[in-house]
Structure 1
Amino acid sequence: MATQIDPVSLPQLGERAHFEEATYRKVAWRLIPLLLLCYVVAYLDRVNVGFAKLQMSNDLHLSEAVYGLGAGIFFVGYFLFEVPSNLILHRVGARLWIARIMVTWGIVSGLTMFVTTPGWFYVMRFLLGVAEAGFFPGVILYLTYWFPAHRRARITARFISAVALSGIVGGPLSGFILKTLDGVNGWHGWQWLFLLEAVPSILVGVLVLLWLDDGIRDAKWLTANEQTLLARNLERDEIAKDVQAPRELFANPLMWIICIMHFAFVMGLYGVGFWLPTLIKGIGVADPFKIGVLSMIPYVVAVIAMIGVAKSADLRRERRWHLAVPGLVGAAGLVASVLLAGNAPLAMVALTIATAGLLTTFPLFWCLPTAMLTGAAAAAGIAFVNSIGNVAGFLGPYAVGWLKDATGSTAAGVYMLAAFMTFGALLALSLPASRVNR
């Protein structure tokens, strides 16, 4: 059993700091691996439609615009049920609600294998959004129950690195399923893809129910002094926050800037997330498995960049430049990927830079609203900000698909995504440092 130490009574500052670091390391190892696994399977179920498209479009006669609308309509369901879902989580507890979310989205994702028409494709994507609504903002809210603002970028980066890890795992896995299981049992490869990648969501949902705790006081694996330390640090953190009541959200101009910024960044993230396999195919790679393997590369680099930049931001307690610079780098990478499309190796380098820049913005971004909101306002506000971003999750893939149909090329769509990323980066620099650098 861990030694009971009163952090306040420790005679040496170094010993107090050591105790605090050890406590937060213990919490991180208890929570983050499972939450990261949850998001890996969540993101996999959300974007595997990008790989399914490689076969599904021909089998179901889907145009680029129809696919883009179907990929994006997920976010309509997500948008409509985001805030209510997060408020329910705040009331009933994260353990039960996150488990419910995961099991239901696993079921819906698996059933997508049976779609036969564009209409049913739209319906299942919408229902997947409804099922998953509240997961991401729920976890972001849940992290505020454990970690103060100045530790949150690193922790959030570890959680959001699941997006990159799902690309590392999901790319080769999806390509392998499409290539080797096509025709088995009379099913297409994309049908096997939806079925097999749904199973982990259900299993991990059950694990959440058995493993997570709703908050510090429920954590039997913490000593009394560790609980006291964590609670005391959160209490100090709450005093500095600006918005405590949900009704104050819409009167705060900074919240609207943050919402617009998130919209801009999500345009880039999901525009690339849903279209990366197609972009790689467009530079001359035809084999589905090779596309899957190549899609790993941008995500490996993104994990390294996310964690490194987030650590720097926490240590310096600086958010704006650590957010803006990756956004501008992501935009530049997108533009370069179009200009270098005739040179496959250089185009892959550009896509890798773009993906790393895009993903690195998100851990830093989520430090902004969580530094300003507390209580029910945090539950509602985080969900509202995320739901606004998810409007972009709907519009981004659809706009890229529409522009591809209209122009015969993905270039115009990629330029559009780069413009949004640049706009988001400039908005980050417009924020007052005193309000966000915590």
Structure 2
Amino acid sequence: MSDGSAAAAAPAKRWAYVIPVAAVMYMLAYIDRTNVALILPYVGKELPLSASAKGFASGIFFVGYLLLQIPGAVLAARWSARKTVLLLMLAWSLAAMACGLVHSEIQLHVARFVLGVFEGGVWPAVLILLASWFPQRERARANALWMACLPVSAVVMSPLSGWMLGAMSWRWVFVIQGLPPLLWAVVWWFAVADRPAQAKWISPAEREYVEGTLAREEAEKPKAAQESYGRALRDRTVLLLVAVYFCWISGFYGFSLWLPSVVKKMTGNGSPGLVGWLTAIPYLVAFVSMVGVALWSDRTGNRRLALAVPLLVSAAALLVGQLTHGSAVAQMALLCVVAAGVYAPYGPFWAIPSTVLRFEVVAVALGLINALGNLGGFAGPYLVGWLTDLTGSSAAGFLVLAGLLVAAALITVLGVRPAGRPSESPAPAGRLTARS
């Protein structure tokens, strides 16, 4: 039986168990990470903050985010992704609630920094988990379906946060939104396994397919990829991906963390509820874009175009939005295009490292890319805030962010060379009722 026919015949319970539980878990993390963008415009005189201070509160998260990237990835690969994420989930929940208890700018920055520390190891740990469950021909879709929790969390939580801000103190919003990870930790512990051999719900046929395919993929990787962590950290593709991710994430978070403020201004300082609902629209478009681009990438094997083209489109939309002054409908349409462009590359991008590095060393590469790349999460918001204070307008900041997105696309096209491509005839991700 060919690889393609084997994939088509394999049961697919892993899509119904692993992806949804991981997606909800990270959706809760993303809510705690980004709710500051919706909440801070409404803290008022109780906690007076300048635009640059608000940008710093958003960005300081990513300084803490650096610390557990590589340790979290290595722990997940060598010990247990399931246990690593569980411990981090409990810790970040407490840190998120602490944001509602602060009484000064410094305390807010410390709470956000600590939140970043505990959330830092989650992303690479889950990527390690997915690499143990989904072969390369399915990897971009698996990544994208999991990472779709990013825009989905905004679709769900933007209106809810807006309603909560209208109904209660901003402090309570922080505290209440920090509670759910404590509850979801129970679901995570009982539903997730590190690999097919440890899962009680998987059938022998699916276990054999996943483990056999992953073993063949490991054996087919270049011999040079069997070397040490040091070699992984020096790999040309890995270093280029760090640069791509930094430029991309600068634009990504500079956009997403300042989107509510832009929408608020666009609506003439509208109510929190209205701002929340309007903010959700671009994220809904982003969700569709993520899934569609990942499906195309798995079918064609072209990871580079799936990464570069959306970034160029989003950069163009940012430029048009800052250089023109259209109606509110036109501005919202441009925000939707930007959101679609900056979210679409997630699945294909994170499928690239495991094509050039073996499982035992790819963990440290994933940690390095996410750690250094996410410094853009500090640079983007702070840059927009600083330029807004300096010029009195957010236009200059967004123009710089557009340039960074273009740089990410150019590095991808001119430098990144993923090894190989997914095997033929990918297994349908939506087939969740296959034989058990």
Pairwise same-fold verdict (TM > 0.5):
yes
Give the equivalent residue in structure 2 for 1:76: 63
Give the equivalent residue in structure 1 for 2:9: 19
Choose the corresponding residue for 1:319, options 303, 311, 325: 303
1:26-46 deviation per Cα after TM superposition (whole angstroms, max 9, x unaligned): 111111111110111110000
1:207-258 deviation per Cα after TM superposition (whole angstroms, max 9, x unaligned): 1112110111101222223212111100111133343321102332221111
Choose the corresponding residue for 2:289, options 293, 297, 305: 305
Give the equivalent residue in structure 2 for 1:4: none
Choose the corresponding residue for 1:255, options 215, 235, 238: 238
Task: Output the CA distance in 1 between the equivalents of 2:75 and 2:217.
Answer: 24
Percent of residue pairs identical: 33
Task: Output the CA distance in 1 between the equivalents of 2:286 and 2:358.
Answer: 30
Asked whether the equivalents of residues 311 and 409 of structure 2 are also in contact (C-alpha less than 8 Å), the reply is: yes
Asked whether the equivalents of residues 337 and 348 of structure 1 are also in contact (C-alpha less than 8 Å), the reply is: no
Which amino acid in structure 1 is aligned with residue 320 of structure 2? Answer: A
**Where do 1:174-213 residues align within 5 Å?**
174-181=161-168, 189-213=169-193
Q: CA deviation at 1:339?
A: 2.8
Choose the corresponding residue for 1:59, options 36, 39, 46: 46
Which amino acid in structure 1 is aligned with residue 74 of structure 2? Answer: L
Change (3 A) 1:341 1:92: farther
Which amino acid in structure 1 is aligned with residue 199 of structure 2? Answer: A
1:374 aligns with 2:358: yes
Task: Output the CA distance in 2 between the equivalents of 1:351 and 1:428.
Answer: 24
Which amino acid in structure 2 is aligned with residue 145 of structure 1? Answer: S
Which amino acid in structure 2 is aligned with residue 69 of structure 1? Answer: F
Which amino acid in structure 2 is aligned with residue 19 of structure 1? Answer: A
Tell me, what secondary structure is at the counterpart of 1:435? Answer: coil
Change (3 A) 1:319 1:57: farther
Give the equivalent residue in structure 2 for 1:173: 160
Asked whether the equivalents of residues 384 and 398 of structure 2 are also in contact (C-alpha less than 8 Å), the reply is: yes
Asked whether the equivalents of residues 106 and 201 of structure 1 are also in contact (C-alpha less than 8 Å), the reply is: yes
Q: Please list every run of 5 or more consecutive structure 2 residues that lacks an aligned counterpart in the other structure.
A: 423-436
Choose the corresponding residue for 1:241, options 187, 209, 221: 221
Tell me, what secondary structure is at the counterpart of 1:48? Answer: helix
Q: CA deviation at 1:368?
A: 1.2
Task: Output the CA distance in 1 between the equivalents of 2:235 and 2:391.
Answer: 41
1:130-169 deviation per Cα after TM superposition (whole angstroms, max 9, x unaligned): 1112111111111111111221111111111111101101
Give the equivalent residue in structure 2 for 1:430: 414
Asked whether the equivalents of residues 60 and 109 of structure 2 are also in contact (C-alpha less than 8 Å), the reply is: yes
Task: Output the CA distance in 2 between the equivalents of 1:251 and 1:138.
Answer: 21
Choose the corresponding residue for 1:271, options 230, 246, 254: 254
Task: Output the CA distance in 2 between the equivalents of 1:434 and 1:171.
Answer: 36
**Where do 1:116-155 residues align within 5 Å?**
116-155=103-142
Q: Please list every run of 5 or more consecutive structure 1 residues that lacks an aligned counterpart in the other structure.
A: 1-7, 182-188
Which amino acid in structure 2 is aligned with residue 267 of structure 1? Answer: S
Asked whether the equivalents of residues 153 and 313 of structure 1 are also in contact (C-alpha less than 8 Å), the reply is: yes
Give the equivalent residue in structure 1 for 2:319: 335
Give the equivalent residue in structure 1 for 2:75: 88
Q: CA deviation at 1:15?
A: 6.4
Task: Output the CA distance in 2 between the equivalents of 1:73 and 1:311.
Answer: 34
1:413 aligns with 2:397: yes
In the alignment of these two chains, the number of paired residues is 418
Tell me, what secondary structure is at the counterpart of 1:146? Answer: coil
Which amino acid in structure 2 is aligned with residue 369 of structure 1? Answer: P
Give the equivalent residue in structure 2 for 1:5: none
Task: Output the CA distance in 2 between the equivalents of 1:240 and 1:386.
Answer: 26
Asked whether the equivalents of residues 319 and 364 of structure 1 are also in contact (C-alpha less than 8 Å), the reply is: yes
1:281 aligns with 2:260: no
Change (3 A) 1:345 1:249: same
Moved more, 381-390 or 53-62: 53-62
Task: Output the CA distance in 1 between the equivalents of 2:6 and 2:213.
Answer: 13
Task: Output the CA distance in 1 between the equivalents of 2:392 and 2:420.
Answer: 43
Choose the corresponding residue for 2:93, options 97, 101, 106: 106
Greater RCO structure (CA 8 Å; 6+ sep)? 2
Q: CA deviation at 1:434?
A: 5.8
Asked whether the equivalents of residues 340 and 347 of structure 1 are also in contact (C-alpha less than 8 Å), the reply is: no
Which amino acid in structure 1 is aligned with residue 241 of structure 2? Answer: I
> Normalising by structure 2, what TM-score?
0.92
Task: Output the CA distance in 1 between the equivalents of 2:372 and 2:380.
Answer: 13
Which amino acid in structure 1 is aligned with residue 8 of structure 2? Answer: H
1:225 aligns with 2:209: no
Asked whether the equivalents of residues 250 and 256 of structure 1 are also in contact (C-alpha less than 8 Å), the reply is: yes
Which amino acid in structure 1 is aligned with residue 264 of structure 2? Answer: K
Moved more, 367-376 or 130-139: 367-376
Task: Output the CA distance in 1 between the equivalents of 2:316 and 2:395.
Answer: 14
Q: CA deviation at 1:206?
A: 2.1
Across the aligned residues of Structure 1 and Structure 2, the Cα RMSD in angstroms comes to: 1.7
Change (3 A) 1:79 1:224: same
Which amino acid in structure 1 is aligned with residue 64 of structure 2? Answer: G
Tell me, what secondary structure is at the counterpart of 1:195? Answer: helix
Change (3 A) 1:248 1:156: same
Change (3 A) 1:291 1:434: closer
Which amino acid in structure 2 is aligned with residue 161 of structure 1? Answer: A
Task: Output the CA distance in 1 between the equivalents of 2:369 and 2:55.
Answer: 23
